[in-house]
């Protein structure tokens, strides 16, 4: 929505008279031939229909007033990166013909309990505004928003052609909300719940889908931690011939999975549920040939689940490995041998999520086979700081040597070296997102004892496409100097327990022109550093600084100077207890056309 900010700077139409104006009447008058400017607008609208990228559309809307109008009329997908940057009313006033909406709410650090609950990002005002203005709404994608049962009920009855609901990292509702959506949205194609906190209202929502054949294409509920009416689910799958994506929760046993797969051999994406036999041992478990079920699903390209995996059953998936492009083992506690038996078949794998239980050896096996790997995420099975971790620089080095097309990596480890990170920077030039989390705070290179400055420096220098970076380990201001000097395309930067002084943040704010999202915690950056970014804050979506050295006065200075910045200051429970003196707990600052929000809870002070 960056176009919105600059509407005051738009150029006006050339209003001077032209020969055609003298003979034609005004737009609303009668005429048998269309006016040139009306023709122009029709042409424009027809052409604009092909513009889908919001950046292109924002640019088009800035050309002149009539382009602005035409673009506003023809934009069908609206993307709101920060729900508080603009009011629902302003959006519905400008864009009249919208059928798809994306709204993002809380900042990402909310995922790690750094944002007190009830902070905000309520969907309700958006829901009510859209219920009036966008009767033809088909798609809604929400990330980190709080949605209530009432919101879902309103949604279900307000949009007669509603087709797709995707909720990522959302909360505030339960299975009763799912029930009302399932029962009332008769044209629902997609119901995707990802990493959301869904309360168990003990409602059988699966039974609420229409009784006839459904249009369901995607049903993702692996994060919904509630038992499911299995018979109803089986019947639902059987009467959903378009179903391609099905991700089950951990309450579905292997035997149940088998039955579902035999009903839906056309699946392309499958979340396997628990992948373990049910506790109640039935003779069925012994007889079933699980790998024939997998073999029958010839279109499977994406596999996930394995929430309580019994590794003995892993061979069942061998038949589909050759075609897999995406494999998510991030809940599967398997060792390197067990992984090897699977991964050696997965030559086409592009996306791989896994637990570090596979150790460096497991990563070496991945590197040996998955030459086309684009995205790797290695999660810690034990997320504590001071333990022996199973993966290290050895695994990272191996991946860098084997997976040259890597674009995105998230790697949790206990120890790392600059050498391995530098190697990755040279071996994987396509890297767009590099997120390394050395779990011990302030850990240096464990072989040389040096800070991790050179490693991250190499990443920003050599990976010319890098837009997302998360740093960790012992880092001095030098690392930030490198980021400011070389990280010209960096849009998202995540910093924790790093840096020596204000200079670190200064380097970044002065050096990175594309920076949009900056989240910092527990780093020694203060008011001086904050003031070095004044030229840039209107270009950013947000700045988050928690447990740093920023004072209230420093924030007030900024708030006074920049009316279009909302400067939120608050303390979390943990921060209250500490001797912080003058320093504030958390600063969350974002550009907005609306000024201070009306729904801020008491503990949030908006300066």
Partner 1 sequence: MEMERPVNLENELNLKATELRLGLPGNDDQPEKQYSSRSIRSINKRFSSEMYTESDAQKGDHQDPSPATKAQVVGWPPVRSYRRNVLQPKKAEADGAGMYVKVSMDGAPYLRKIDLKVYQSYSELLNALEDMFKCTIGVYSEREGYNGSDYAPTYEDKDGDWMLVGDVPWEMFMTSCKRLRIMKGSEAKGLGCL
- The residue behind tokens 């309580």 is 308
- The residue behind tokens 């994060």 is 223
> Smallest distance from the beta carbon of 448 to partner 1, in angstroms?
6
Q: What is the DSSP string of 253-271?
A: -HHHHHHHHHH-TT-SEEE
**Tokens read off for 513:** 């022109």
Give 31 or 448: the residue with its C-beta nearer to partner 1.
448
> Smallest distance from the beta carbon of 383 to partner 1, in angstroms?
4
CA angle 587, 590, 596 (to 5 degrees): 90
> Smallest distance from the beta carbon of 440 to partner 1, in angstroms?
5
Give 74 or 523: the residue with its C-beta nearer to partner 1.
523
Distance separating the N- and C-terminal Cα atoms of the chain:
24
> Smallest distance from the beta carbon of 547 to partner 1, in angstroms?
8
Backbone angles phi, psi at 431, to 5 degrees: -55, 125
Determine the distance from the C-alpha atom of residue 468 to the mean position of all C-alpha atoms in its chain, rounded to a whole number.
13
> Smallest distance from the beta carbon of 317 to partner 1, in angstroms?
20
> Smallest distance from the beta carbon of 99 to partner 1, in angstroms?
31
CA 166, CA 565: separation in Å to the nearest integer?
29
> Smallest distance from the beta carbon of 382 to partner 1, in angstroms?
7
Give 309 or 316: the residue with its C-beta nearer to partner 1.
309
Question: Which has the closest alpha carbon to 570: 532, 603, 533?
Answer: 603
8 A C-beta contact, residue 9 and residue 32: no
Give 397 or 407: the residue with its C-beta nearer to partner 1.
397
CA 320, CA 294: separation in Å to the nearest integer?
6
Question: Which has the closest alpha carbon to 158: 175, 173, 180, 143?
Answer: 180
From the number of C-beta atoms within 10 Å of its C-beta (0-12, 13-18, 19+), residue 334 rates as buried
Question: Which has the closest alpha carbon to 590: 112, 3, 83?
Answer: 83
Give 174 or 402: the residue with its C-beta nearer to partner 1.
174
- The residue behind tokens 């380097």 is 507
Give 386 or 602: the residue with its C-beta nearer to partner 1.
386
Question: Which has the closest alpha carbon to 182: 145, 229, 146?
Answer: 229
Max CA distance (Å), the chain: 89
**E strand spans, 277-424:** 302-304, 326-329, 351-355, 375-379, 408-413
> Smallest distance from the beta carbon of 435 to partner 1, in angstroms?
9
> Smallest distance from the beta carbon of 494 to partner 1, in angstroms?
8
DSSP state of 63: S
Residues of the shown chain interacting with partner 1 in the complex, contacts defined by CB under 8 A: 109, 111-114, 149, 174, 176, 195, 197, 199-202, 223, 225, 250, 278-280, 307, 330-331, 333, 379-386, 412, 418-419, 422, 437, 439-444, 447-451, 454, 457-458, 461, 474, 476, 482, 496-497, 500, 521-524, 547, 549, 572, 574, 578-579
> Smallest distance from the beta carbon of 140 to partner 1, in angstroms?
22
Give 105 or 451: the residue with its C-beta nearer to partner 1.
451
């Amino acid at each position: 929505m960056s176009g919105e900010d600059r509407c005051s700077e738009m150029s006006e139409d050339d209003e001077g008279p032209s020969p055609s104006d003298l003979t034609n009447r005004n737009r609303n008058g009668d005429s048998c031939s269309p006016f040139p400017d009306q023709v122009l607008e029709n042409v424009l609208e027809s052409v604009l229909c092909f513009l889908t990228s919001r950046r292109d559309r924002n640019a088009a809307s800035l050309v002149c007033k009539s382009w602005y109008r035409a673009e506003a009329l023809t934009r069908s997908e609206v993307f709101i990166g920060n729900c508080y940057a603009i009011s629902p009313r302003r959006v519905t006033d400008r864009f009249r013909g919208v059928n798809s909406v994306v709204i993002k709410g809380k900042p990402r650090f909310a995922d790690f309990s750094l944002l007190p609950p009830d902070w905000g990002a309520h969907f309700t005002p958006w829901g009510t505004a859209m219920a009036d203005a966008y009767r033809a709404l088909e798609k809604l994608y929400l990330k980190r928003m709080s949605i209530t049962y009432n919101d879902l009920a309103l949604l279900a009855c307000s949009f007669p052609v509603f087709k797709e609901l995707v909720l990522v990292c959302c909360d505030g509702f339960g299975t009763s909300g799912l029930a009302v959506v399932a029962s009332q949205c008769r044209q629902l194609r997609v119901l995707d719940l990802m990493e959301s906190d869904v309360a168990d209202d003990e409602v059988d929502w699966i039974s609420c889908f229409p009784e006839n054949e459904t249009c369901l294409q995607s049903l993702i509920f692996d994060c919904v931690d509630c038992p499911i009416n299995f018979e109803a689910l089986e019947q639902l799958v059987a009467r959903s011939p378009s179903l391609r994506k099905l991700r089950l929760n951990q309450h579905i046993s292997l035997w149940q999975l088998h039955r579902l797969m035999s009903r839906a051999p056309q699946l392309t994406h499958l979340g396997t549920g628990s992948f373990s036999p049910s506790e109640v041992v039935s003779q069925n478990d012994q007889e079933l040939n699980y790998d024939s079920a997998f073999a029958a699903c010839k279109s499977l390209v994406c596999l996930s689940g394995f929430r309580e995996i019994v590794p003995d059953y892993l061979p069942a998936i061998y038949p589909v490995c050759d075609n897999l492009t995406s494999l998510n083992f991030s809940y599967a506690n398997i060792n390197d041998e067990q992984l090897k038996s699977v991964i050696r078949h997965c030559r086409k794998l592009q996306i791989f999520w896994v637990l570090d239980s596979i150790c460096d050896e497991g990563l070496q096996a991945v590197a040996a086979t998955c030459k086309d790997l684009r995205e790797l995420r290695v999660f810690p099975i034990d997320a504590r700081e001071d333990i022996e971790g199973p993966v290290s620089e050895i695994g990272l080095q191996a991946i860098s040597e084997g997976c040259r097309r890597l674009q995105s990596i998230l790697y949790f480890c206990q120890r790392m070296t600059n050498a391995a990170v530098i190697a990755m920077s040279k071996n994987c030039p396509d890297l767009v997102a590099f997120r390394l989390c050395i779990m011990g705070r302030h850990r240096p290179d464990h072989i040389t004892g040096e800070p991790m400055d050179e490693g991250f420096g190499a990443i920003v220098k050599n990976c010319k496409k890098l837009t997302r970076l998360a740093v960790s380990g012992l880092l001095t201001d030098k690392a930030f100097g490198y980021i400011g000097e070389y990280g010209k395309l960096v849009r998202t930067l995540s910093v924790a327990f790093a840096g020596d002084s204000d200079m670190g943040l200064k380097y970044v704010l002065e050096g990175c022109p594309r920076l949009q999202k900056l989240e910092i915690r527990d780093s020694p950056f203060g008011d001086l550093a904050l003031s070095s970014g004044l030229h840039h804050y209107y270009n950013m979506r947000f700045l988050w600084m928690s447990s740093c050295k920023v004072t209230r006065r420093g924030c007030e200075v900024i708030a006074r100077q920049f009316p279009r910045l909302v400067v939120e200051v608050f303390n979390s429970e943990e921060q209250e207890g500490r001797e912080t003196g003058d320093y504030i707990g958390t600063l969350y600052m974002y550009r907005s056309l609306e000024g201070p929000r009306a729904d801020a809870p008491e503990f949030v002070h908006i300066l």
